[in-house]
Structure 1
Amino acid sequence: MNPLKRIAGWLAASLLLLAAVPALAGTITGSAHDFTGQAWSGGRICVACHAPHKTDTTTTDAPLWSHANSAATYTLYSSPTMNATVTQPGGGSKLCMSCHDGTVAVNSFGGVTGTTMISAANNLGTNLKGSHPIGFTYNTALATADGSLHDPATRTVTIGSGNQTRTGTVNAMLLYGGKMECDSCHDVHNTFTVGGLGTGLVKVDPSGSKICLACHNK
């Protein structure tokens, strides 16, 4: 076969293959975590949290972490009707709070500390009493004792929308180390979010309170 015809055939097949691949439901580009418009980012997206070299390998659950960590101690949610024991945020929650508690600059990465703080609307502060509790173990024992929670070992939930959906138990889809954390409901990378921009990067469809009913049975 003529080499040029062979190359043309390969190109045509490649284009057909690419056309058949479904688009991702979301990417960081254009999301609330796209900081390319900020001068301190240098037009880069991942640099706000990650770096391929000289990263912080001591931070739990943080691949190639490069952002400054918060040293804050948080005022925790409490309620006389709550059966779970709430502890200080851990894992992914601590990483989220390193930007969202307003104590560390958003542009504090790569060993350089800036002064651009996160906007007031997204600044949760260090008082978490008014937010959904995080940092607690959510298991069958808690669901049984509480009575108003689904058993995370058997309750199924679907995260994401469109071509990017995953279905599994609450334990597999939403919990981290068996605990409820920030990233139980939110997807920092915007891959499995529902509803597009302006919806808080939530993993589960918020319409009809589906995101609440994934865990709560009333």
Structure 2
Amino acid sequence: MYKIAFKSILVTLVLLALGAIPALAVKGTPNVANTVHNLSVWQTDWMIASNNEEEICIFCHTPHGGSLTGPLWNRANSAQVYTHYTSSTLSTQVAASRGTNIYDESRLCLSCHDGSISMYTVMNANNVTGPPLPFWGTGEMRGATGLTQGPRIGMGRNADGTVNDTVNNDLSDDHPISFKYLPVLTDAAKDSNRLQTIAYAEGQGVRFFPLGAADADKRVECSSCHDPHVDYTTAAAYTPFLITPNAGSALCLACHNK
């Protein structure tokens, strides 16, 4: 009888302990073919797509002769100099990034998303269509031209708040990127308890870059929160290609201690 009671108490304590541990992030199912990053001719769900390219991965990756700025990267990185986010409560460590360059991990994303380089300008075209071409003809878009489906990342704002689509290097209204997390976390002048620890953030799915770096060198980049391969068409909670669902602001609270 005493053994049964002891086991019951032990089970109860274990369950209570587990309940005190934050739930780890659930990574989404990868299926890039089912996302807006599928720009191939087979994709019919999005306005922006190629009229002649049958490969999916080629818009970002190439098996040979790729750029070393990314994983077998098939694009030239954007050469823009960007304006960073700023505010009166911003950590001096983040503010310092305003004078630094955007690192490659985010330039990979911005090579398409700031609109400065056509999505169809790649380093190596496939062997079926011949030698590498910088551009796949004039009819490569289905029902659209350029990046006209919505505001680009990097677009500016006019005085009246409307989007200025002649600008493509303004990140002042976007979450800060390309800054080291640990110095911001420990910036006592800006109340360090406003951020969660690196271990906690990583446990919730946040990725810091470079991958495998020491804590002192870990940076926040675009892919800290986004996964370009995640299938958010069948799992809408991952929209827009998030590393983990943001229900209840879970992704925000992975870093921000509010």
Tell me whether the two structures share a fold, i.e. TM-score over 0.5: yes
Q: TM-score, normalised by structure 1?
A: 0.72
Say what the alpha-carbon RMSD is for the aligned residues: 2.6
- Describe the shift of the 1:182–1:155 C-alpha distance in structure 2 as closer, same or farther (beyond 3 A): closer
Deviations along 1:74-96, one digit per CA (max 9) or x if unpaired, are 11111221112323321320100
- Give SS of 1:77's match: coil
Question: Bigger CA drift: 77-86 or 36-45?
Answer: 36-45
Bigger strand fraction: 1
The reply to whether residue 129 of structure 1 matches residue 172 of structure 2 is yes
- Describe the shift of the 1:118–1:68 C-alpha distance in structure 2 as closer, same or farther (beyond 3 A): farther
Q: TM-score, normalised by structure 2?
A: 0.61
Deviations along 1:149-196, one digit per CA (max 9) or x if unpaired, are 11214555333xxxxxxxxxxxxx421130000000001222799943
Corresponding position of 2:198: 152
Higher relative contact order (Cα pairs below 8 Å, separated by 6+ residues): 2
The reply to whether residue 105 of structure 1 matches residue 126 of structure 2 is no
- AA at the equivalent of 1:44: E
Cα offset, 1:213, TM superposition: 0.2
Corresponding position of 1:166: none
The reply to whether residue 80 of structure 1 matches residue 88 of structure 2 is yes
2-structure distance, mates of 1:124, 1:52: 28
Corresponding position of 2:181: 138
If you compute each CA radius of gyration, which structure gives the higher value, 1 or 2? 2
- Describe the shift of the 1:41–1:31 C-alpha distance in structure 2 as closer, same or farther (beyond 3 A): farther
- AA at the equivalent of 1:184: S
- Give SS of 1:47's match: helix
Corresponding position of 2:24: none
2-structure distance, mates of 1:193, 1:201: 9
Corresponding position of 1:56: 67
1-structure distance, mates of 2:172, 2:231: 29
Cα offset, 1:40, TM superposition: 5.3
Cα offset, 1:117, TM superposition: 2.7
Cα offset, 1:113, TM superposition: 2.8
- Provide the aligned length of Structure 1 versus Structure 2: 178
Corresponding position of 1:174: 207
Q: Which runs of 5+ in 2 are unaligned?
A: 1-27, 42-48, 125-131, 139-144, 155-168, 211-217
Cα offset, 1:28, TM superposition: 0.4
Deviations along 1:6-55, one digit per CA (max 9) or x if unpaired, are xxxxxxxxxxxxxxxxxx82310111211123335611101001111222
Question: Bigger CA drift: 83-92 or 25-34?
Answer: 83-92
The reply to whether residue 67 of structure 1 matches residue 75 of structure 2 is yes
Corresponding position of 1:190: 230
